[in-house]
C-alpha cells in the first residue's frame, strides 16, 4: 500500500475511533440528555433533565400551537396571545408574574414560532414551586379585557415596525418566505401582517387561547438541580389538577409541486454591503419519513458550517471572494423546512461575481461528491457538539421541546448520535442530488441603493 494511502487509512481509523469514543463506546446505547419522562393523568407530558452543576432550575411550558395554526385573516394572533399571557389572572394581577420572578432573582420570557409557543423561567431551585404555581395558573385562568388588550396590540405593532419596518433584511426575508411557500401558512410572518394585527382584539385572543391552551396540548420541561420525584409531586399538585379538554387536530394545507425558481431583490439606502441567499425547500424529520434529514445535517456540516467547511475554505480562505459564506439547515419544522446557502462578497468583489462563484462551487460539489473522510470528520464534530450540549441548562429543554412540538419523541433525541453515526457517504451524495433543485428555490438579494443626492 502506498504511503499516502497508509496515511489516509490511519486518518480514517482515528476519526472512526474518535466518533466511537464520543458515542460512549457503543453505537446503540448512546444518549444525549438522558431525561426522565412521564405523563400526568390529564395528558400533560413532563420531561425532567437533572443537572446538578448549580443550584438553579429552569421551567419551560411548550404549547403545540403557533403562527401556522392561526385562523385565516388573524395573522399574528399566536404571538399577540404570548404578550397577553402576562396580563394577569384572577389570582395574580397584571405584571405580578414578572414582578415575582424578578423579586426572587429569576429571569423569564416567552417566544412564538410557526409551530409552537413556549414560556420559560429560570430561578433558584428552591423557587421551583413558585414558578410552577404561576405558570399553571395562567394556563387556563387568563383574564383579558379591552383595557389590557388594545394597548398591547399597539405594542406589537410597534414591535413589527421596529423589527421589520426598520430592517431591509427582515423585509427581504418576509418576501422570500412568501415566495418560498406558495400555499402553506409558513408564508405568513410569525408577528403577522400589520393590517391584520390591527384587527386583532380581545375576542380573537380569547378564542385562540380557549381553543389551544390546555394541559393535554402542552409539555412541561424542567431542568436543573432537581429530582424527578420532586418535579412529579409539584407537577401533579399544580398542573395535574387542570382538566383536559378537546383540542382540535392541526390541519394545515399542503405545499403544491413547485415548477419554477424565484428571485427577490431588495434595495435600500440602509445597506452598505450586498448579500445573497438561496433557499431550497427541504424535508423535516416529520415529513421526510426516512433518514434523509440526518444526511442533510451532515451535508450542511460539510459544505457550509463554519471555517472548516468546503464553501468557506474555497471561497473565503483560498480565493477571498467571500467575506462570509455558508449554509444552514434545520429539520425541526412540523411541516417542510429549508436548506439555505448564503454569501457576502469581499470588498471589491461584485455580488454578481460572488453569486456566480457560489453556484459554480455548488455545481462542483454536486459533480465530485463529498468524501468518506469529510463525512466521518463532520459526524465526529456533530456528536462532540451533542455531548457538550449536556452541560447547558437551556440546550436540553429547547432541543427536546422543539422535537416534541414537531411530532418527534424523546427517544428520537436520545438516538440522534447513533443516527448521525449511521449516515454514509453514499447517503450524503444521494440526498445532495435531490435537495438542490432550482424549481424548489428562492434567491434573495439585499443590495445597497445609491443615494441620489
358: which residues sit within 8 A by CB, 6+ positions away?
276, 278, 311, 315, 322, 325, 341, 343
Catalytic residue among 70, 74, 82, 255: 82
Burial 29-45 (b: 16+ CB within 10 A, else e): ebbbbebbbeebebebb
Written as nine digits, the cell of 186 is: 409558513
**371 in Cβ contact with 309 (< 8 Å):** no
| Residue 319 is among the residues annotated as catalytic for this protein | no
- Where do the H-state alpha helices sit in 213-262? 228-238
H helix or E strand, kind and range, residue 134? helix 128-140
Written as nine digits, the cell of 45 is: 407530558
80: which residues sit within 8 A by CB, 6+ positions away?
152, 153, 156, 192, 197, 200, 204, 205
Q: How far apart are CA 263 and CA 179, in angstroms?
A: 9
Residue that is written with C-alpha cell 430592517 in the block: 167
Known catalytic residues are 82
Amino acid at each position: 500500500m502506498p504511503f499516502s494511502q497508509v496515511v489516509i487509512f490511519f486518518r480514517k481509523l482515528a476519526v472512526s475511533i474518535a466518533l466511537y469514543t464520543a458515542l460512549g463506546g457503543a453505537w446503540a446505547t448512546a444518549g444525549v440528555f438522558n431525561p426522565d419522562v412521564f405523563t400526568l393523568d390529564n395528558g400533560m407530558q413532563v420531561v425532567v433533565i437533572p443537572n446538578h452543576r448549580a443550584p438553579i432550575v429552569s421551567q419551560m411550558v411548550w404549547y403545540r400551537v403557533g403562527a401556522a395554526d392561526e385562523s385565516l385573516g388573524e395573522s399574528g394572533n399566536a404571538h399577540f396571545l404570548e404578550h397577553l399571557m402576562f396580563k394577569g389572572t384572577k389570582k395574580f394581577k397584571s405584571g405580578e408574574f414578572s414582578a415575582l420572578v424578578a423579586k426572587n432573582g429569576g429571569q423569564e420570557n416567552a417566544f412564538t414560532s410557526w409551530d409552537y409557543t413556549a414560556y420559560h423561567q429560570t430561578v433558584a431551585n428552591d423557587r421551583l414551586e413558585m414558578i410552577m404555581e404561576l405558570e399553571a395558573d395562567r394556563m387556563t385562568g387568563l383574564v383579558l379585557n379591552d383595557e389590557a388588550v388594545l394597548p398591547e396590540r399597539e405594542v406589537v405593532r410597534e414591535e413589527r415596525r421596529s423589527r421589520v419596518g426598520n430592517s431591509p433584511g427582515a423585509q427581504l426575508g418576509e418576501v422570500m418566505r412568501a415566495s418560498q411557500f406558495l400555499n402553506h401558512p409558513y408564508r405568513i410572518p410569525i408577528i403577522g401582517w400589520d393590517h391584520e394585527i390591527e384587527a386583532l382584539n380581545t375576542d380573537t385572543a380569547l378564542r385562540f387561547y380557549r381553543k389551544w391552551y390546555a394541559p393535554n396540548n402542552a409539555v412541561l420541561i424542567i431542568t436543573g438541580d432537581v429530582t424527578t420525584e420532586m418535579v412529579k409531586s409539584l407537577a401533579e399538585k399544580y398542573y395535574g389538577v387542570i382538566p383536559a379538554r378537546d383540542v382540535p387536530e392541526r390541519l394545515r394545507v399542503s405545499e403544491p409541486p413547485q415548477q419554477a425558481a424565484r428571485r427577490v431583490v431588495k434595495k435600500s439606502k440602509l445597506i452598505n454591503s450586498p448579500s445573497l441567499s438561496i433557499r431550497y425547500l427541504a424535508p423535516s424529520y416529520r415529513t421526510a419519513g426516512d433518514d434523509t434529514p440526518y444526511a442533510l445535517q451532515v451535508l450542511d456540516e460539510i459544505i457550509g458550517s463554519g471555517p472548516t467547511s468546503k464553501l468557506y475554505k474555497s471561497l473565503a480562505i483560498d480565493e477571498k471572494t467571500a467575506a462570509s459564506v455558508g449554509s444552514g439547515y434545520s429539520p425541526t419544522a412540523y411541516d417542510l423546512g429549508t436548506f439555505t446557502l448564503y454569501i457576502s462578497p469581499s470588498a471589491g468583489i461584485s455580488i454578481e461575481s460572488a453569486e456566480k462563484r457560489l453556484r459554480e462551487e455548488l455545481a462542483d460539489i454536486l459533480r465530485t461528491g463529498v468524501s468518506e473522510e469529510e463525512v466521518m470528520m463532520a459526524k465526529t464534530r456533530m456528536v462532540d457538539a451533542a455531548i457538550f450540549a449536556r452541560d447547558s441548562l437551556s440546550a436540553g429543554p429547547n432541543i427536546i421541546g422543539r422535537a416534541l412540538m414537531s411530532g418527534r419523541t424523546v427517544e428520537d433525541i436520545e438516538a440522534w448520535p447513533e443516527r448521525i453515526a449511521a449516515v454514509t457517504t453514499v447517503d450524503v451524495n444521494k440526498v445532495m442530488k435531490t435537495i438542490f433543485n432550482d424549481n424548489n428555490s428562492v434567491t434573495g438579494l439585499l443590495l445597497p441603493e445609491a443615494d441620489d443626492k
